[in-house]
Each structure stands twice: as structure tokens, then as C-alpha cells.
Amino acid sequence: MEGFLALNDLEQDEKTENMVAIGNRLGLGVVVAGSVTKKGPVIIVDCKAVQICDRRILLSRRLKMLGEGQLEGEVSKLASLLCTTLARDAVRSAENPTKRPATLEPPRGLIARSGPSSVSLYWEGDPRAKGRSYIIYRAVREGGPFTRIGKTEKPEFTDTRASKGTAYFYKIKACDTRGAESEFSTVVSGQPEITPEPPIILSAKGFARAVRLVWSPNPIERQEAGKIRGFRVYRATRNGGSYKMVAELTDLDGLEKQDFRGLKSYQFVDENLVDGRKYFYRMSCFDENGSESDFSIPVAAKTIPAVAGLWVQGGLIRSMRLGWNASDSLLVKGYRIYRSESKRRGFRKIKEILGREINSFTDEQDLKDDTKYYYRVTLVDESGRESSPSPTVGAKTKGAPPPVQVAYALGGLVKKVALRWIPLAAEDVVGYRIYRSRNPRGPFKLIKSIDSSSCTEYVDEGSFQEPLGDNITYHYRITTYNPVNVESKVWAYVNATTKRRPTAPRGLKSEGLHVKSVPLAWQPNPEPDIVKYHIYRKSQTRDHFEFIKTVGNVCSYVDKGLGDGIQYSYRIQAEDKDGLRSKLSAVANASTKPRPRKPSQVKGDYLEGVVVLMWEPNREPDIVCYNILEKTFFGFSRIATVTSTSCSLKGIEKGEERAYAVTAVDRDGLESEPSDVVTINTHSPPAVTQPTTGLDLMAE
């Protein structure tokens, strides 16, 4: 340590200035110094600890002892106190960092690159800091001690005093003109070794989001180095920034080559960069042994800025005017126009323009009315690469013509609705369109287009295929349209209900057991304009109702000429003065009076020229007589009418065979079916009764 201090012109004493200087030179955080003197039997020990960063004295003690007997114990106590003080200071500094003097950020990204007789250091500088410089420390062991070997204002340093075959360790710190210093950077190592000479970057040219580098291998070849196996490209985003590798190129035969002023050269295009940004590049090469050269001299190139100054003029009929600042770069060959109805997504290319100096465009491609469109413009360079989009601008096309704001709908009409509205005097209104729907939410169907701006009414009667219904609410929308057939928004919503059909008649009643007729009666309809009723009938032999009669505004009807003992069903329907008919009423059923039952137990006998017939009386209470029928070749013929249940027929000669039947007749004149036939043989009694058949029934 004493030798090191002597070589660096430093004195070892307890002066705070010297302790801080030594600490800075060695890169230490705390320096402890002391001395021992003896005056006669008294031994004096002085000890001081100084915090280097903020030049603060942590501990200062003087011990006086009589003889050497107390020396070991007192020194042990001093060591314990020193350890406690340093630990307490470390804890206090961690808990109260704001109480410590402000320090600089330590340098980042420190790397070491070897050369034949030197080691080059690179790190990331802070472009915002003014008056910033860096102090470089070196050691031959990772744990130090470190010696200050230089100071620079650039974020790089080359150690030219490094010896071949010796590994060195480096760390740096930042400082400013006020004396503030940062903490140390991380430690890196490097040693001089035989490496290839770095390549020579011949040119760096900016394109759209890309930079093209052209370089040539270094013409100086080191015999000790191996054959060049590839190149590495490093990039920084600012001067003095940290260089990061962006490409490793090993396929030298596959690299694009070109002749640059007689030099064998290669080129590489760094893509996906930011528009209008300046980039800094360095390159290295590496040989077949894996040894990498130092960095080349840095070069810079700026990508072509994106399109700026974009503006758009709206308020036009289905068109937009665009303008922008033409690019200054001679590498630009044209522009691409993108459009969307969303500000942030869905952009599609609508036009590609060739020509760097062109700076305007009118969009007339499928634009909608009163719609906001957003535009972006990119530029395309001579290699076909495209820049990032310009800032987005937007504007609206001209809106549709003004809508109808006041409209009326008149309901209560028969199968029609009358519409009226206040006309518009706007120049771009040339007509009206009327839409209809049965649902207020639609869908609405166009039913009429009126080619006159002065028209103020329309009567909707439906169509032959779709007439309007009864008691149905129809909803209408009325719009305007202009000369180019652009339609207004819907403002006027109206609705009306057509006249309702009469209600179905109620209280329909029918009376049964009438002779060949059914009387009907019902309640009058509540509608005041009922003019007639329609009557429908269905019998047992029919499966549907049939129209039989229309009566006036009355509430009864007698259906006549009906069959006997048949059930009939009736429904009626009301009709108003406008011809609207109600639904059919509920069903009323009734049966006509049935014919009497045919007489039973008919018997006959022949005694001395007289045929006597007898039968059981009918159960019907209103039977008034019985008809005696004789069966002939042509059927039955009535030969007598009696009111009792027997009959004597005279003048019948012996040896004849006669056949008879009996019918019952009620007071309404309804006659039963003939009874079973009784056959009487005048020479071979008794008589035989045979049932009649349908073939025997014949009108009298």
C-alpha cells in the first residue's frame, strides 16, 4: 500500500483531504487511517474513519495508554467501535437516502474489447448531463485494489498501457463539475490479445425505416489472426449511447457485394427502424478462432422522416381533399393513402401516388354522406420500403339533406292512412320517401317515392298484393332526398290505426223443436254504424258453415224449410256501413221437431171378409191420428185414417193376400215412418208381420 501511494504521489496521514484523495484514487467507499506515537511510557493511538462519497468523518478517536499492557485490549475495543460505527452508518444511509448528498447515476453497459496491445472500454453515456466526465479504474485482480488510470468526457476509453498476457479488471464512475460522483459501475475484464483489425464502414444511408451500411474488410491483415469468419453490426440510438448488437453476419458468400471505388465491399440493411431518427453504427469482425476485433469508427445515418403536415378538407359531397408536405428526400418515389372510418384501426390503402413532389389528393372512392373518415399517408422509397403512417387526420363528408321535422298521420279510415307534413324549402330537397312498418322498430319498407318537394300529403291504401288491414297500427317514416339521391336521416316518426272491424255479435240463441224451422235471436252490436248481419248455418251432414241469409239491422231471424229432427248450428257476422265485417259469433245449436216414431206391434187378422189391424199407441203426447197404408206394386198408398189404435177394413175377398203398414201423425202434421209391414192371407191365417224397407216407401 505504501508503495502504491508513493507511486501516485499520495501521503498516508490522517488529513481528511488526503484520505478522500486516496479513497477516490483507489475507488473506496470508506478510508480508515491512524497513527501510533510513544512519549516516554505513554502510548498514543489516533484513529479516523472518513466516508469518501460525502467527505464525512464517521469516527475520530485518540487513545492514551500507560505501557503496552493495555494496548491489545484498547485496540480491540477501538476495532469493535469502528465496526459498529460503520455498520450504523450503512443502516442510516439505507433508511434515509434523501439525507445523503445527491449522487450521480453510475455508468451502465460497460464492456471491454481487446486489441493487440490495448483494451478498449465502452459504456452508455447520459446525453442530458452537461459537464459530465468519467473516471476509469483498473486492477489486476477482480477484488482490487483499483487504480485510477484516466479520465474522459466521452463514453469510451482505450487503455494503451495494458501489457500482453495480463488480464485486467476495470470499473468506472461518473463525476461532474460540482464534484458530485456516482457509485462504481459493474466490473468487467479484458486483456490485450491478437484480434482482427476492425472493418471500415464506407457509407451509411438512411431509407424509409431502414439504414443501409456498406463496409469493407480492413486492408491491414494481422498474420497472427485467423481468417475472417463474419461481421457483427452494433447500433446506438444516440451519440455516446450504448451499442447493442443487431446482426451477426456469417454467410459472407450470401452477403450482397458491390464494388465501392475499387474496394471489395459488403452491404447490410438494418430494417424496422423509427422514421426520421438518427442512428449510430459500429462494426466488428471475428475470425475463425472466435476472436473479435475492436469497434470500427462510428458512423451515423438518419432514416427518412414520415410524412408531415397532413391535412384534410371535409364538408364536400362524397369527396375529401388531402394535402401534405412533400418529402425532401430524393430517395422517395411516391406516397400511399390509407383510409378508415375508425381513428385507430381498419385502415386500408385506397391510392398509391408516384412522384416525390406531389402533395395533394382528392378522395372520391365510395364515400358515404355525413360520415367521418380518417386518413394516413406513408411515403415509399426507391427500394420499395414504406415509412410509418403520418399522424391521423379526419373530417366529415357533407351530410344528407334536411329531414322532415313535422308530420301527421290520420287514422280511423277504412283500410288506409292519410299522411301530411310541412314541406321543406331547402335547395337540395327534390322529393320525399315514405316508409311503412307494422313494428315501430322496423324493418321499414319503402312504399312511395314522391318526386316533388312541394308535395305535402299522401294517402296510403296499401297495394293489391298487400292491402292494409283493419284495426292495425302502422308506423311511418318520412325522409327527403337530394338531386344525387342522397337521403336524409329519419326525423319524423308517425303512426295511425286503421278502422277496426265490428266486434263479433254476442248472445246468439236458437230455439229447438220447431217444425222445419229454427228461430234465432241475438244482442245488437255496440257499434252505431252496423247496417246488416250475415247468417251462417251448418247441419249434421256438413263439416263447414255455409252462408244462408243477410238481414238488416235486426236482431232475429227464423230459418225455415228445414228437415225434421235434424240438429243445426248457427253463427252470425256483423257488417258496418263501410263494409267491415266482424268475426263470426259463437255457435248456437238447435234441432227441429222430429217426426213421430213409427207404430209398433202391428198385428192383423181376417174374419169373414174383414181385415182387422191393431197396434200399440205411440208415446208422443200430440199424436192425433194414424194412417193405414196398403202396399202395392208401386209402393204404399194410404187407404184409411183413424184416431184409435185399430182399424177394420171391409170388402176383402177370401183367398187374397194383402200387406199393410201404419204411420202416426202428430198435431203439427208430422208423419212417422211406416211401421213394419203386416201381411194377411185370407185363406191361411194368421197374418205375418214383416219390417218395411226403404224400397217399400213410396209417396202417396
- Tell me the C-alpha distance between 44 and 267, whole Å: 74
Average pLDDT over residues 10-17: 70
User: Is 255 among the domain residues?
Assistant: yes
- Tell me the C-alpha distance between 377 and 306, whole Å: 9
The answer on 217 and 267 residing in a single domain is yes
- Tell me the C-alpha distance between 483 and 486, whole Å: 7
User: Is 402 among the domain residues?
Assistant: no
Average pLDDT over residues 397-421: 90
The answer on 332 and 284 residing in a single domain is no
pTM here is: 0.50
Strands (E), 355-430: 360-363, 372-381, 393-396, 407-410, 417-421
Three-state SS at 288: coil
Domain boundary among 302, 328, 350: 302
Total number of domains in the chain: 7
User: Is 84 among the domain residues?
Assistant: yes
User: Is 559 among the domain residues?
Assistant: yes
- Tell me the C-alpha distance between 448 and 417, whole Å: 13
Domain boundary among 99, 124, 156: 99
- Tell me the C-alpha distance between 428 and 480, whole Å: 9
Q: For residue 444, what is the domain's CATH number? A: 2.60.40.10
Range of the domain at 680: 600-696
* pLDDT score of 73: 80
* pLDDT score of 691: 59
The answer on 320 and 363 residing in a single domain is yes
The answer on 210 and 162 residing in a single domain is no
pLDDT higher than 60, residue 611: yes
The answer on 270 and 223 residing in a single domain is yes
Residue 547's pLDDT band (cuts 50, 70, 90):
very high
Matching residue, cell 490522517:
14
pLDDT digits (tens, 9 = 90+) for 213-255: 999 988 887 766 678 889 999 999 988 788 899 999 988 877 7
- Tell me the C-alpha distance between 361 and 390, whole Å: 15
The enclosing H or E element of 85 equals: helix 71-95
The answer on 486 and 457 residing in a single domain is yes
Higher-pLDDT residue of 695, 36: 36
The answer on 89 and 10 residing in a single domain is yes
304, 307, 310: which is closest to 273 by C-alpha? 304
